[in-house]
Structure 1
Amino acid sequence: MAATRRPITLAAAVATAAALGASLALPALAADRSAPNATAAAPTIELKDGTLDWGFKESFRKYIGGAGKITVKDGATQADGNGVFTFVNGKGTYDITTHGTDTAFDGGVNFFAHGGVLDITLSDVKVSTAGTGGAITADVATAEGTQNDVAVADLDLSAVKPGQGAGGAMVFKDIPAKLTKAGSEAFNGQYKEGEVLDPATLTVTAAATPTEKPTDPATPTEKPTDPAEPTEKPTDPATPTGKPTTEPTQPTTKPSPTATATATDKPAAESGPIVDGTLDWGVKASFRSYVTGPIADGKVETTGGASATADGYRFSDATGSFDAAGQTLKAEFDGKVRFLGHKEDGAYTLDLSLTNLAIRSDGTKAQLVADVSSKDRETKKVSSYTALAIADLKLPAGKLAAKDGVVTLSGVPATLTADGATKAFGSMYQAGAELDALTVAVSLDKDATLPSGSTTGGSSAGGSTGGSSTGGSGSVGGSGSVGGAGTIGGSGALASTGSDIPAGALFAASGLVVAAGAGAVAVARRRRTA
């Protein structure tokens, strides 16, 4: 039955509550069924007193807070602490036949920074829904002009369950939102389609009920076949046919973590000094894309044994030691990667270097450490840190082992440490933000063969001595950013990412704040971010 899957949608919930004259009282279960037979004298139900709570992107608000100001107008409000925006006086309709809703809200918000170089306004915000999906549209005004009814965000209501608010209002809390293709194109592609935006909370109230109660969509037209009554009795698996002819199959092993370690073919794993090895890591895909994109208009330099790869950077010539019995690994790699962006008066205000990267694991805890040099974009002061723990690593427990003289770890999840967030990235990422996964291969035998890896030549915008990455994959969005007083990242920044996602200081800017049109790149290059 369709009721076994309960994708509660706005349209169906409003329909049920209004039809029952309950002022949107819960539970609203109409969305459990598509209700093709629902009819009513009134083709639509009026919606009133609606509100939309939506922050667009938390990291972008933090960036503007450090580089400029945010102004709400025409009835919109902003929560304390640079919080989300509330658009008010929502009015609209619910279509009884199609189950679609359209609600328009009062209020607008202006983002202003860098003396007007960044100046963008969102207004005439609307929410529409159809089935389990929906969209947020807005008029987008920049120095280049105004685009009306831009579908900025797609909404996914498939897993959203309604709650009840004051006065019988129906509340749909934390609706997942992603950037649309139209939104990306309207704002010069600075965010990729599908970039995760802040979730939205929609509140609506039915102004009136239909004059006639629609057919109860919960009543099936015929009794379904009882799935509990099989057509024939299955063979009893509990009745053995005889003594097994072979030994029982060993139980399935516990699933391995995301990171995988190459196990040894020998009973005892090899241990000893590390004579060579490589570390492949991209830091953060969205950050790479941001630095070399039209906003930061910068470059990435790799020197001292580091090289650019298709997915980030490779650090080489590992030294250190590995102890299989104690599950300890200490491996240090040669190479330096330097991110440069936002050139002003001949100098880059975004300047972050990572060198002497090392993996340290004591059998219970693993971290990625590095020597860090980071410039504060407000004071221009450069701070340096030695062996700073920048990422916590999730290694496969008890699985560190050598095969053919090589210890290999693939796809190791990495999250930002508190020190990494504050000292390396100027608090523009929050501790725990997801970074790129890393891959490590270290050799205990000078004759062993390390896994091959692809590298890429060339240079990013501006070029650099020693080669530089092309920015890798990713988009201006992801889960964080780096730098001075503002940011753009994922789980806390607009530059996750993606998955998070998930607030920073070394760089800034956002796809949704770049003016559309041919002049956008030129404007972005002049922008001074926090």
Structure 2
Amino acid sequence: MAANRRRSTALAAACATAVALGATALAATSASAAEVPLKGYELTWGIKESYRNYVTGMAAGTFTPAGGAVQAKDNGVFTFVNGTGSYDSEAHTVALGFEGSLGIVSKAHGFELSLSDVKFDSKAAKITADVTKAGATQQDVPLAEVTVTRTMTDMPTKLTEEAGDAFGSASYAGAAGDPLTVAEKKTESPTPTPSGSTTPSVTPSATPSVTPSTTPSTDPTGSTTPKPSSTGADSKGDISYGTLGWGVKQSFRTYVVDGVAKGKITVSGGAEQASGNGVFTFPDATGTYDTDADTLKASFKGSVTFKGHEDNGSYGLDLTLSDLKAELDGGSGKLTADVDSLGEKSDDVTLAELKPESADLTAKDDVITVDGVAATLTAAGAKAFGGFYQTGAELDPVDLAVALTEDAELPDADPTSGGGTGGTGDTAGGTTGGTTGGAGTTGGTGTTGGTTGEVTGGLAATGSDVPVGALGAAAAATVAAGAGVVFAVRRRRTADSAQA
């Protein structure tokens, strides 16, 4: 069915182009008239906004258009010009190649590449380009699949595995790219379509975009009837103990361990990380709760450190999160942490806004459990991530479990949770170190480390979701400063590398 949809959308796009070509071209029925030449088109595409922010933010890099290509202001999208090609009036498809190139360079993160000979083919529903890295050029690399529309305006794109490799981030594969627009550059008023044209009008139905609602569930009745509870604890009081589960952001973990950061993740102070470069668990909760007021304030022990971009023993990324605190008040809340980035510490930085599925806090067997709490990045958190992630970006969900009495039992923890004995490295570099000495490290392909359980060694060169390849795309971490900016990437020693 996907192939049928692609053919129908490609047909629709071609029909729109046909209108611009005029009635004469559309009337052609001979084989020689099937290919109608096109010229003067422009292709506008931003690759992926988070990638642009990563390059000019934490990577301290630059975009340099050339050969007629331009970039919109404020680190905007790119436009490639003078598109030429053809319209197939029988197959109703468009194939265009564009002039202009784009250089992408970061001295701080050690990458340099360029894109040229950008092409759009509505039949294949793809964007391709020649990609030059490390002095070698690959021609016609498929960068994105395109959902072709009738107007060829703001067409949805999906990045390919090849794009992930080109931009240094395996996590880009299958990720949504920026919308694509292909349009003729108008130099005069368009020729009106003659009345009475027999050209069929094709208007495919567009697939609606469905965005899952993250609005917390609340009681619409506003009832004040006391909530049922099987707890023997008071309705409010001090937390006895508990845990917080949070992965920060999966693409960021991938970026650090498997992306161009070629780094490692270390937990300490009782914190653990799930195997396979999984989420973190922070223990020993203290704080207060009030199930009548639906409020919870809890602090947790343990810390997690992300290191990457090593250069002669110095790290461009060296970030530690500790003293995590979660606050819930009805249907909202926040997550804070102390952040130490490259030796510069900021306390109680509000990293995320929290939205539980329900506003109600209910204790069962003297335990309050709140799983799958949606976490979205705050403005301060976005600055902390060096602008790679935008305010409102979705972070990993938060899981909370707190005991109200000393003899209450928390839900069973994931048996694969971090720590344990250190495994052997795999091709993804996702080995989890042991917990001997109270710390574990994810990363590398080496053997189990010493008393700290550290695993070291080379990592896969492919990226993560940085952001990027960092995205590697990783994911991204970085150095940022500013009101609570805590996540920063060390600028290299030259003024050039400090460019944002």
- Please give the range of the TM-score, normalised by the shorter of the 2 chains: 0.7 to 0.9
The alpha-carbon deviation at position 291 of structure 1 amounts to 0.8
Query: CA deviation digits over 1:3-54, x for unaligned, max 9?
Result: xx99983542442563586589xxxxxxxxxxxxx98343133322110111
Is 1:290 matched with 2:255?
yes
Q: Normalized against structure 1, the TM-score is what?
A: 0.69
Say whether the 8 Å CA contact 2:354–2:374 is kept in structure 1: yes
The alpha-carbon deviation at position 496 of structure 1 amounts to 11
SS in 1 for 2:122: strand
Say whether the 8 Å CA contact 1:270–1:405 is kept in structure 2: no
Q: Percent identity?
A: 39
Q: Which amino acid aligns with 2:200?
A: D
2:312 matched residue in structure 1:
345
Structure ID, larger Rg: 1
The alpha-carbon deviation at position 218 of structure 1 amounts to 6.5
Matches within 5 A, 1:325-364: 325-363=292-330
2:371 matched residue in structure 1:
410
1:396 matched residue in structure 2:
357
The alpha-carbon deviation at position 294 of structure 1 amounts to 4.5
Q: Which amino acid aligns with 1:387?
A: D
Q: Which amino acid aligns with 1:121?
A: S
Query: CA deviation digits over 1:256-308, x for unaligned, max 9?
Result: 956899x8555999433211211110001111111112511111110111000
1:222 matched residue in structure 2:
none
Instruction: Label 1:529 to 1:259 Cα distance change in 2 as closer, same or farther (>3 A).
Output: farther
Instruction: Label 1:359 to 1:373 Cα distance change in 2 as closer, same or farther (>3 A).
Output: same
1:456 matched residue in structure 2:
418
Query: CA deviation digits over 1:422-451, x for unaligned, max 9?
Result: 2x3344433222111111111112222211
The alpha-carbon deviation at position 152 of structure 1 amounts to 1.0
Q: Distance in 1 between matches of 2:214 and 2:400?
A: 17
Is 1:316 matched with 2:283?
yes
Instruction: Label 1:389 to 1:22 Cα distance change in 2 as closer, same or farther (>3 A).
Output: same
Instruction: Label 1:186 to 1:218 Cα distance change in 2 as closer, same or farther (>3 A).
Output: closer
The alpha-carbon deviation at position 320 of structure 1 amounts to 1.4
Name which of 137, 140, 164 aligns with 1:149.
140
Say whether the 8 Å CA contact 1:111–1:121 is kept in structure 2: yes
Query: CA deviation digits over 1:443-498, x for unaligned, max 9?
Result: 11222221122213437679796102459xxx9565868xxxxx9569xx85399x
Matches within 5 A, 1:363-402: 363=330, 365-375=332-342, 382-402=343-363
1:252 matched residue in structure 2:
none
Instruction: Label 1:19 to 1:297 Cα distance change in 2 as closer, same or farther (>3 A).
Output: closer
2:98 matched residue in structure 1:
105
SS in 2 for 1:173: coil
1:53 matched residue in structure 2:
44
1:506 matched residue in structure 2:
488
Is 1:9 matched with 2:23?
no
SS in 2 for 1:47: strand
Instruction: Label 1:259 to 1:447 Cα distance change in 2 as closer, same or farther (>3 A).
Output: farther
2:493 matched residue in structure 1:
none
1:305 matched residue in structure 2:
270
Q: Distance in 2 between matches of 1:20 and 1:117?
A: 45
**Structure 1 unaligned spans of 5+:** 25-37, 163-171, 220-254, 376-381, 482-486, 498-502, 509-526
Q: Distance in 2 between matches of 1:49 and 1:18?
A: 15
1:127 matched residue in structure 2:
120
2:84 matched residue in structure 1:
91
Name which of 186, 196, 200 aligns with 1:216.
200
Q: Distance in 2 between matches of 1:23 and 1:81?
A: 41
Q: Distance in 2 between matches of 1:18 and 1:420?
A: 48
Is 1:443 matched with 2:403?
yes
Matches within 5 A, 1:147-296: 147-157=138-148, 160=149, 162=151, 172-184=152-164, 190-204=170-184, 216=200, 264-266=228-230, 270-296=235-261
Say whether the 8 Å CA contact 2:112–2:133 is kept in structure 1: yes
Query: CA deviation digits over 1:51-91, x for unaligned, max 9?
Result: 01112233433444353433222211122223221100111
Q: Which amino acid aligns with 1:18?
A: A
Query: CA deviation digits over 1:339-362, x for unaligned, max 9?
Result: 111122322221111111111123
Q: Which amino acid aligns with 1:53?
A: T
Say whether the 8 Å CA contact 1:48–1:205 is kept in structure 2: no
Say whether the 8 Å CA contact 1:44–1:93 is kept in structure 2: yes
Q: Distance in 1 between matches of 2:443 and 2:266?
A: 10
2:68 matched residue in structure 1:
75
**Structure 2 unaligned spans of 5+:** 204-212, 220-226, 424-429, 445-461, 478-484, 491-496
Q: Normalized against structure 2, the TM-score is what?
A: 0.73
Say whether the 8 Å CA contact 2:218–2:359 is kept in structure 1: no
Q: Which amino acid aligns with 1:60?
A: Y
Instruction: Label 1:45 to 1:260 Cα distance change in 2 as closer, same or farther (>3 A).
Output: farther
Aligned pair count reads 424
Instruction: Label 1:462 to 1:367 Cα distance change in 2 as closer, same or farther (>3 A).
Output: closer
Q: Distance in 2 between matches of 1:480 and 1:260?
A: 35
SS in 2 for 1:199: coil
Say whether the 8 Å CA contact 2:259–2:471 is kept in structure 1: no
Q: Which amino acid aligns with 2:346?
A: Y
